[in-house]
Structure 1
Amino acid sequence: MPHYKLIYFNMRGRAEIIRYLFAYLDIQYEDHRISQDDWPTVKQTVPFGKIPILEVDGVPLHQSLAIGRFLAREAGLAGKTELEQCQVDAIIDTLDDFMSRFPWAEKKKDIKDQMFNELLTHDAPSLLQDLDLYLGKKDWFVGNSVTWADFYWDICSTTLLVLKNDLLDKHPKLVALRKNVQSIPVISDWIKQRPETRM
């Protein structure tokens, strides 16, 4: 079994999809959480100066979604066919496109608040409507069993609900999908034991 070391901040953020997949696979890994104070030093040592990084027997892998695809294939969560894999990737990329629009690193509070408010009140409703329609009457986004797209929805929506707690009030099917993911025993266990962080 390879030795896995995940390097990220003490937050869910972009590393949480990797942690979900490790939980699902029941694979032990080093969850190395660095402080913001240590980041300037660490930044000089990692590929492209960005985290998360997953070291596999010392080999550094970067880009959270590339790492996610790597682990999802191992977990059987990437989609059962090539067509399903494309559908899964499309949902993940759609969610990631939206989450990446938030100015997480903006230092000026008034600008940051204005941009967050704009995204949550004007842009999020159309995304949620599209996701709702895509899900339809199914239990999962793609096919008839869970994929890592469902995991990513749970992770992204958890953050969105921190920012706006009534965001899913008009979308009971998307809430039900969250519950489906969180009721998977290994995911439920991880959620209970993970460090409490706002994001």
Structure 2
Amino acid sequence: MPHYKLIYFNMRGRAEIIRYLFAYLDIQYEDHRISQDDWPAVKQTVPFGKIPILEVDGVPLHQSLAIGRFLAREAGLAGKTELEQCQVDAIIDTLDDFMSRFPWAEKKQDIKDQMFNELLTNDAPGLLQDLDLYLGKKDWFVGNSVTWADFYWDICSTTLLVLKQDLLDKHPKLVVLRKKVQSIPVIADWIKQRPETRM
């Protein structure tokens, strides 16, 4: 079994999908959480100066979704066919496109608040409606079993609900999907034991 070391901040953020997949795979790994104070020194040592980084026997892998695909294939969560894999990737990319629009690193709080409010008020409803329609009457976003697209929805929506608690009030099917992911025993165990962080 390879030695896995995940390097990220003490937050869910972009590393949480990796942690979900490790939990699902029941693979032990080193969850190395760095402080903001340590980041400048760490930044100089990692590929492209960005985290998360997953070291596999010392080999650094970067880009959270590339790492996610690598682990999802191992877990059987990438989609059962090439067509399903494309559909899964499309949902994940759609969610990631939206989450990436938030100015997470903006230093001026008033500008940050304004931009967050605009995205949550004006843009999120359209995305949620599209996701709701895509899910339709299915149990999962793609195919007839859980994929890492469902995991990523739970992770992203958890953060969005921190920012706007009533965001899913008009989308009960999307709430049910969250609950289905969170009720998978290994995911439920991870959620129970993970460090409490806002994001």
Q: Deviations over 1:18-44 (max 9, x none)?
A: 000000000000000000000000000
- For residues 188 and 110 of structure 2, the distance between their equivalents in structure 1, rounded to whole angstroms, comes to 37
CA shift, 1:152, in A, is: 0.1
- For residues 138 and 186 of structure 1, the distance between their equivalents in structure 2, rounded to whole angstroms, comes to 23
CA shift, 1:185, in A, is: 0.1
Name the structure 2 match of 1:28: 28
Tell me the TM-score normalised to structure 1 length: 1.00
- For residues 197 and 109 of structure 1, the distance between their equivalents in structure 2, rounded to whole angstroms, comes to 20
CA shift, 1:76, in A, is: 0.1
Where does the alignment leave 5 or more consecutive residues of structure 2 unmatched?
none
Q: Deviations over 1:81-111 (max 9, x none)?
A: 0000000000000000000000000000110
CA shift, 1:158, in A, is: 0.0
- For residues 198 and 51 of structure 1, the distance between their equivalents in structure 2, rounded to whole angstroms, comes to 18
Name the structure 1 match of 2:67: 67
Name the structure 2 match of 1:139: 139
- For residues 39 and 7 of structure 2, the distance between their equivalents in structure 1, rounded to whole angstroms, comes to 11
- SS state of the match for residue 94, structure 2? helix
CA shift, 1:193, in A, is: 0.1
Name the structure 1 match of 2:9: 9
Where does the alignment leave 5 or more consecutive residues of structure 1 unmatched?
none
CA shift, 1:124, in A, is: 0.0
- For residues 195 and 97 of structure 1, the distance between their equivalents in structure 2, rounded to whole angstroms, comes to 26
Map of 1:68-83 to 2, 5 A cutoff? 68-83=68-83
Q: Report the count of equivalent residues.
A: 199
CA shift, 1:149, in A, is: 0.1
- SS state of the match for residue 32, structure 1? strand
Structural RMSD (CA)? 0.2
Q: Deviations over 1:44-89 (max 9, x none)?
A: 0000000000000000000000000000000000000000000000
- SS state of the match for residue 97, structure 1? helix
- SS state of the match for residue 141, structure 1? coil
Runs of 4+ in 1 over 2 A off after TM superposition: none
- For residues 106 and 139 of structure 2, the distance between their equivalents in structure 1, rounded to whole angstroms, comes to 37
- For residues 126 and 97 of structure 1, the distance between their equivalents in structure 2, rounded to whole angstroms, comes to 14
- SS state of the match for residue 96, structure 2? helix
Q: Deviations over 1:95-134 (max 9, x none)?
A: 0000000000000011000000000000000000000000
- For residues 25 and 112 of structure 2, the distance between their equivalents in structure 1, rounded to whole angstroms, comes to 37
